[in-house]
Amino acid sequence: MGHTLLARQKRGSIVSRLSLVLGITMLLAASSEASRADQFVIANPSVSIAGDDVREVYLGEKQFAGEQRLIPVDNAAVQGLFLSKVLRMSAAKYETAWIKKSFREGLAIPPVRSSNIETIEFVRRTPGAVGYVAADKPPTDVVVVTKF
C-alpha cells in the first residue's frame, strides 16, 4: 500500500513539473511572438496626439487632446515591453505611480485588456482611447500614433 501511495506522489510530481514546463514554454512563445511583431501605439480616430505625447498620456500628465478627454488602456499581452521601451519603468513603479495619481488627483487607473484584439476593439469603439499593440501590420480603423 505504501508503494502505491509513493507511485501516485511521484506521478503527481511529474505531472506538476510538466504543467510548469508547458506553462513557461507557452509564456516564452507568446513573448517571443510579441517581440517579433511590430509594436504600435494606436488611438481612436477622435484623438490627435504626437508620439512624444505617449509617455505623458500613460503617466496621467496629459489628459486632453484639444476637447477630447484621453483614455489610456493597457494591453496585458505586451505591457512589459511597452513599459520598458516607452515608459522606461517597471510594472511595480507604473502601478505605484497610478495609485498615487488616483488618490491625489482622482484619476482613473487605465483599464487593462488581455490581448491585442481586445485592445484594438476597445480603442476603435471608445472616443479618446489610446492603446498599444503588437501586430505584423498596423491595425485598421484606428490612428497609428507611433511605432515602438
Distance, in Å, from the CA atom of 31 to the CA atom of 123, rounded to the nearest integer, reads 22
pLDDT in tens, 83-142: 999 999 999 999 999 999 999 999 999 999 999 999 999 999 999 999 999 999 999 999
Residue 4: per-residue pLDDT: 56
User: Which H or E run contains 71?
Assistant: strand 71-72
- The confidence band for 3, taking pLDDT boundaries of 50, 70 and 90, is low
What's the CA gap between 138 and 37, in Å, rounded?
10
pLDDT at 8: 53
Q: What is the pTM of this model?
A: 0.76
Span 59-70, pLDDT tens digits: 999 999 999 999
What residue spans define the domains of the chain? 1-36, 37-147
Superfamily of the domain at 37-147:
Periplasmic binding protein-like II (3.40.190.10)
DSSP-derived 3-state class of residue 69 = strand
> In whole angstroms, what is the distance from residue 20 CA to residue 81 CA?
23
Written in H, E and C, the secondary structure of 101-131 is HHHHHCCCCCCEECCHHHHHHHHHHCCCEEE
Check residue 2 and give its pLDDT.
54
- pLDDT tens digits, one per residue of 25-59: 444 444 444 556 899 999 999 999 999 999 999 99
| Predicted pLDDT at 9 | 53
